[in-house]
Structure 1
Amino acid sequence: SAFAAAIGALRGLREVVNLAPAVAMQPPAPPVFRRTLPLSLSAAGLVSQPMRMMLRNVAHHPVRSFLTAFGMSLATAILIVSLFTEGTMEQLVDVTYFLADRQDATVSFFEKRPREVAFQIARLPGVLNAEPNREVQVRIRNGHVERRIILRARPRGAELNRIIDADLRPVVLPESGLAISDMLAKILKVRVGDTVEVDLLDSERRTVSLPVAALVEDYLGMRGMMDEEALARLLREAPMANGVSVSLDKNRRDEFYAAVKAMPAVSSLALQTASLATFRDAVALLVTTMSSIYTGLAAVIAFGVVYNNARVSLSERARELASLRVLGFTRGEVLGILLFELALLTLIAQPPGWALGYGLAWIMKTNLAGELMRVRLVVDPAIYVFASAIVITAAVLSALIVRRRVNRLDLVAVLKTRD
């Protein structure tokens, strides 16, 4: 009996040894998955299966998705800067030539004359309104910093030559003291209430100290401004004028020109239309060229980013898309899975692109601010819409090219590809 028991133990040990490799080769038990959210809150009830496939692919490639969206944002920002530059020049023209200096012509004299000369000019044929103005060359100084400017005086209630602030409202000059350009105040490092030294360079040459009574944010050049009566007291003379701004009847301009030519005291006649045309000719070429370059660059960036992302995604998912075609998906459905991802990234990129564009416009506005010209930081909402429209159009053109590649996908060759 002992011998039989030993034989039985050996047989059991042999069976255990023979079964051990089989147990070791068994695959591990699958993990246990649990639903985190109730079925009513899952995405399955909100989006379709192709949309979930698209979202899953975006989540699986976060770096590539971020770079694609960032590239589209940069394209939008470049377009906003381009359109801002063109639009701000038009705003500069509107403020300068239609809100501030609204005269049709300016008559200048060889020598200063009593301001009653405006009544003489007003009686010329075709003149609807006439306003005298006085200009004096001065040197303004604060410490060791100085600039040579024109000190201009206007009568109270002037309608043709107005001073417009940053809010596009007329500025009333103080009865005493000096109003200067905001850029000039920054150069001289003065504020309202500070005193500056003014060297009078016309007639009686002397130096006076004047308080800064107001700052005006103008856009062309730098200037000082005073009330007509205050400048007359400063110069120790009766109110004088060395120019008259006039508003003309368009139908009688030729008569007015002939009458001005017959006046020996007139030195020149400056036409507002000629000045505006000269300004446009000087700025239009620069603005048009820069705008065209920026627009083309942004379109190329948008097209290249979308096309590159689509080609990479198509190369990576060719087998998956071909399998969907074999399973019964139409070409449009398969193409939608590929292009919905790019459409989503393009739309997501627009708000950051608007913010980047506004920031770049602010940088350009700051860098353009100089002694000769400044611009306003006004980005019209239509600029955002137009910039996004151009970027989306470039993305659509890129998608159309990718569509041809998807339609010509060789299903048999792709399905034969080994993993």
Structure 2
Amino acid sequence: MRETWRWFGEFDPLSLSEVAQTGAAGIVSALHAVPYGDLWTSEAIVRRRAEIEAAGFTWDVVESLPVHGDIKRGTGPLSRHFDTYRASLANLAQAGVKTVCYNFMPILDWTRTDLSLPVPRGGTCLHFSTSRMAAFEIHMLGREAAHDTYDPEAIRAGDMWFQDSTEATRDALLHAIMAGLPGAVDRFDVAGLKDALDRYEGLSHDDLRANLKRFLEEVIPTASALGIHMCIHPDDPPRDILGLPRIVSTEEDIRWIMQAVDDPANGLTLCTGSLGANPRNDLPSIARSFGHRTHFAHLRNVIKEQDGSFTESAHLAGDIDLVAVIDELLEAEANRDTNIPFRADHGHALLSDIGQTFQPGYTLIGRLRGLAELRGVIAALS
């Protein structure tokens, strides 16, 4: 497996010279300043690649080449969006960048309710609380329908939290949830989020699946011809939120996607933390079933709670048997004669991470610890 490190370019407080000290060989990056739906030009791609290579790395994975919201909703100038996406893929292939991660989650790329939950022995982590999410949806957004999507106990706990909340704690919850918006997008206030949600009103799981299938049919043949591996990222968290459907949350969802356009270019980003937050998912089994279509891996761990809440744990300390998952991926590599790029996904804020302005989860010391632990597992299994 090939060690990589996610780097946010001009939006990252870490320099590539600092990243080099982690030992990672490849970089996972994107053109984060380009608005969704705009063309990734050859010139911009080559500049980013040259910047990465000048620091002694290769640009191994694009994360992400975003899918415009119109495509997810199935509205707007779809032909233009598909043409632009295919042209961006062609420009990436010309520059030799041939693994592309993307997601199909409406509005939010990921969702947490707490960005700095204290952990034992010091440091902080990311956390998702179903009760606080229920409180946000029911009390702050006024979504009465949310009563049907949360466990009654989580709703009661959310009611109590909201009754005791202050303007500051409610603002902190909104800030944490809005952190999951794509990097260069302005953060919404409550009214802005309601407006964004209104644009998805009535979108069902079947609708979103149909729109994903159309995207795959439009894009995968081009990717295949260019030698590009597309790899969809699972939902994070793997459940419906804000009244928005989620369709990449289970092993059954992944199987449907792989069969929708049955081409090796239509692949998976195996994110153990996202899939692992769903108690139905057996991560070693998923790695075994889809190792032949896994083109990229995010390795992290979570501790789940009975009500669906979860806490991001140290990489080898959670509910997921990452050793077994890595063993399956190494077997898949051997069968495919390839190296699957992976990155230590997220990390606790530890030591000098505290107080720094990293993207949530993308700390230096926490990820370095995770990478070292995963490196040891891979060395032992190999």
TM-score tier after normalising by the smaller chain length: under 0.3
Q: Which has the higher helix share?
A: 1
Larger gyration radius, structure 1 or structure 2: 1
| Structure with bigger RCO (C-alpha 8 Å, 6+ apart) | 1
TM norm structure 1 = 0.19
